[in-house]
């Protein structure tokens, strides 16, 4: 690594894989994690704050400020994913309550303060519904002058997870995601297409779980967590997806993903496609545009491919650092 660490802020809904992202960000020497902000998503926002503080404590992180953010999306009710992330939102691992407490500033105020105070432009990494980011952009648009870029986990080129076509983070607050896309700063979309592919093999998970270091061991426990869908037996395998942590890998090591600058639009209409990210991969205009249809979607750097082995090695090398 050369040069100074990249100042980053993670906006998360911790969340099993958000926790994996935090553990990586805290330990990567090329990243300077300046704040973490919390939003309702995988669980309620107070649960997200508690989980985030616990992870930072277990990781032995310095005193990084944590801001509590939106309790619910801009228009929709909160629709948590506890069937995936456990009743406590972080795998029900029985971790002790954190001794740390959240900042007195709420998430939007903390984001504003840290972005504007940073000596170098900040990279924002949302790994959650985009509610806090939309509120920030609407309340304090001046922050964009000190944002280098936004690398968000969300959306999908192909298949969704919350619905057949919509990814959870965008589906949970589609209006907020649409606001993000028009932020006027460079945006990278680390969507489900790459998110689903970075899966650690069982022997590595097993080794992490056996570590004497609490942060490393926690990474192993989180990777071994399996959601139990109604009527399904949990999988025996210990292999586990990096999930949101892949988006942080994409900041630390951007050459590990292949991106293309493409028009992206969020479907806001009610119905089956609500929350879908419509990614225009056509090589040229179609009949719609020829006959006067609009083509004004935001241009986003969309991750289309990922070097899986490279990110798995990067993750292990970072989280197993002494
Ligand atoms: C996203 O939704 C959450 O369950 C994960 O933490 C990730 O951010 C994947 O759709
Ligand atoms: Ca998340």
Residue 225 confidence (pLDDT): 86
Find out whether the beta carbon of 216 lies less than 6 Å from any atom of ligand 1: no
Task: Report the pLDDT averaged over residues 36-41.
Answer: 97
Find out whether the beta carbon of 243 lies less than 6 Å from any atom of ligand 1: yes
Mutate to test the pocket of ligand 1, among 172, 190, 243, 275 (most ligand atoms within 8 A of CB): 243
Flag whether pLDDT at 236 surpasses 60: no
Residue 239 confidence (pLDDT): 67
pLDDT, tens only, 168-196: 999 999 999 999 999 999 999 999 999 99
Q: Ligand 1 atom 10: the closest Cα is on which residue?
A: 168
Whether 85 and 9 have beta carbons less than 8 Å apart is answered as: no
For the chain, give the secondary structure using H, E and C: CCCCCEEEEEEECCCHHHHHHHHHHHHCCCEEEEEEEECCCCCCHHHHHHHHHHHHHHCCCCCCCEEECCCCCCCCCCCCCHHHHCCCCCCCCCCCCCCCCCCCCEHHHHHHHHHHHCCCCEEEEECCCCHHHHHHHHHCHHHHHHEEEEEEECCCCCCCCCCCCECHHHHHCHHHHHHHHCCCCCEEEECHHHHCCCEECHHHHHHHHCCCCHHHHHHHHHHHCCCCCCCCCCCCCCCEECCCHHHHHHHHCHHHEEEEEEEEEECCCCCCCCCEEEECCCCCCCHHHHCCCCCCCEEEEEEEEECHHHHHHHHHHHHCCC
Whether 101 and 53 have beta carbons less than 8 Å apart is answered as: yes
pLDDT, tens only, 145-174: 999 999 999 999 999 999 999 999 999 999
Find out whether the beta carbon of 127 lies less than 6 Å from any atom of ligand 1: yes
Residue 295 confidence (pLDDT): 63
What is the token pair recorded at 58? 């277990």
Residue 46 confidence (pLDDT): 97
Residue 237 confidence (pLDDT): 59
What separation in Å is there between the alpha carbon of 283 and the centre of ligand 1? 30
Residue 290 confidence (pLDDT): 86
Flag whether pLDDT at 1 surpasses 90: no
Whether 131 and 13 have beta carbons less than 8 Å apart is answered as: no
Flag whether pLDDT at 66 surpasses 90: yes
What is the token pair recorded at 20? 């994996």
Find out whether the beta carbon of 84 lies less than 6 Å from any atom of ligand 1: yes
Residue 200 confidence (pLDDT): 96
Flag whether pLDDT at 235 surpasses 90: no
Tallying the residues shown for the chain, one arrives at 322
Mutate to test the pocket of ligand 1, among 47, 128, 196, 245 (most ligand atoms within 8 A of CB): 128
Specify the range with the lowest mean pLDDT, choosing from 23-32, 211-220, 223-232.
223-232
Find out whether the beta carbon of 17 lies less than 6 Å from any atom of ligand 1: yes
CA distance 137 to 182: 10
Mutate to test the pocket of ligand 1, among 244, 246, 276 (most ligand atoms within 8 A of CB): 244
Specify the range with the lowest mean pLDDT, choosing from 254-258, 282-286, 302-306.
282-286
Specify the ligand 1 atom closest to the Cα of 195.
9
Specify the ligand 1 atom closest to the Cα of 17.
6
Specify the range with the lowest mean pLDDT, choosing from 112-126, 196-210, 292-306.
292-306
Residue 297 confidence (pLDDT): 76
Give the ligand at the shortest distance from the Cα of 169: 1
Q: Give the residue with greater pLDDT, 96 vs 12.
A: 12
Q: Identify the band that residue 93 occupies on the pLDDT scale cut at 50, 70 and 90.
A: confident
DSSP β-ladder status, 31-38 and 147-153: unpaired
User: Using omega within 30 degrees of 0 as the cis cutoff, is the peptide bond preceding 15 cis?
Assistant: yes
Q: Ligand 1 atom 4: the closest Cα is on which residue?
A: 42
Task: Report the pLDDT averaged over residues 69-92.
Answer: 88
Find out whether the beta carbon of 244 lies less than 6 Å from any atom of ligand 1: yes
Mutate to test the pocket of ligand 1, among 24, 81, 130, 155 (most ligand atoms within 8 A of CB): 81
Q: Which domains does the chain have, with CATH numbers?
A: 6-319 (3.90.245.10)
Percent of the chain past pLDDT 90, that is, above it, reads 82
Residue 248 confidence (pLDDT): 98
What separation in Å is there between the alpha carbon of 11 and the centre of ligand 2? 9
Task: Report the pLDDT averaged over residues 281-292.
Answer: 86
Mean pLDDT score of the chain:
93
Specify the range with the lowest mean pLDDT, choosing from 93-107, 129-143, 184-198, 231-245.
231-245
Find out whether the beta carbon of 153 lies less than 6 Å from any atom of ligand 1: yes
Flag whether pLDDT at 60 surpasses 60: yes
Task: Report the pLDDT averaged over residues 114-118.
Answer: 98
DSSP β-ladder status, 122-126 and 147-153: parallel
Task: Report the pLDDT averaged over residues 78-85.
Answer: 82
Task: Report the pLDDT averaged over residues 72-85.
Answer: 88
CA distance 255 to 310: 10
Q: Ligand 1 atom 2: the closest Cα is on which residue?
A: 168
């Amino acid at each position: 690594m050369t040069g100074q660490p990249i100042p980053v802020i993670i906006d998360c809904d911790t969340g099993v894989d958000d926790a994996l992202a935090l553990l990586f960000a805290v330990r990567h020497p090329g990243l300077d994690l300046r704040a973490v902000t919390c939003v309702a998503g995988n669980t309620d926002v107070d649960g997200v704050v508690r989980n985030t503080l616990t992870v930072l404590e277990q990781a032995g992180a310095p005193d990084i400020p944590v801001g509590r953010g939106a309790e619910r999306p801009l228009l929709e009710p909160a629709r948590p994913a506890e069937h995936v992330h456990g009743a406590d939102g972080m795998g029900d691992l029985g971790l002790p309550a954190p001794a740390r407490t959240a900042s007195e500033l709420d998430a939007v105020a903390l984001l504003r303060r840290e972005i504007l105070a940073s000596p170098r432009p900040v990279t924002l990494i949302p790994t959650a519904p985009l509610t806090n980011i939309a509120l920030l952009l609407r309340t304090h648009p001046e922050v964009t002058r000190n944002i280098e870029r936004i690398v968000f986990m969300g959306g999908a080129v192909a298949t969704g997870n919350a619905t057949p076509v919509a990814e959870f983070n965008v589906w949970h607050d589609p209006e907020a995601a649409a606001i993000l896309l028009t932020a006027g700063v460079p945006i990278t979309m680390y969507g489900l297409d790459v998110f689903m592919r970075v899966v650690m093999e069982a022997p590595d998970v097993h080794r992490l779980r056996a570590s004497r270091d609490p942060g490393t061991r926690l990474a192993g426990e989180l990777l071994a967590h399996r959601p139990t869908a109604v009527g399904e037996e949990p999988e025996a395998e210990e292999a586990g997806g990096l999930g949101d942590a892949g988006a942080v890998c994409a900041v630390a090591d951007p050459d590990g993903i292949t991106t293309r600058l493409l028009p992206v639009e969020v479907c806001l209409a009610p119905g089956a496609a609500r929350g879908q990210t419509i990614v225009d991969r056509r090589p040229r205009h179609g009949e719609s545009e020829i006959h006067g249809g609009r083509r004004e979607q935001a241009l986003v750097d969309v991750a289309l491919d990922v070097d899986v082995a490279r990110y798995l090695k990067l993750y292990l090398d970072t989280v197993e650092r002494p």
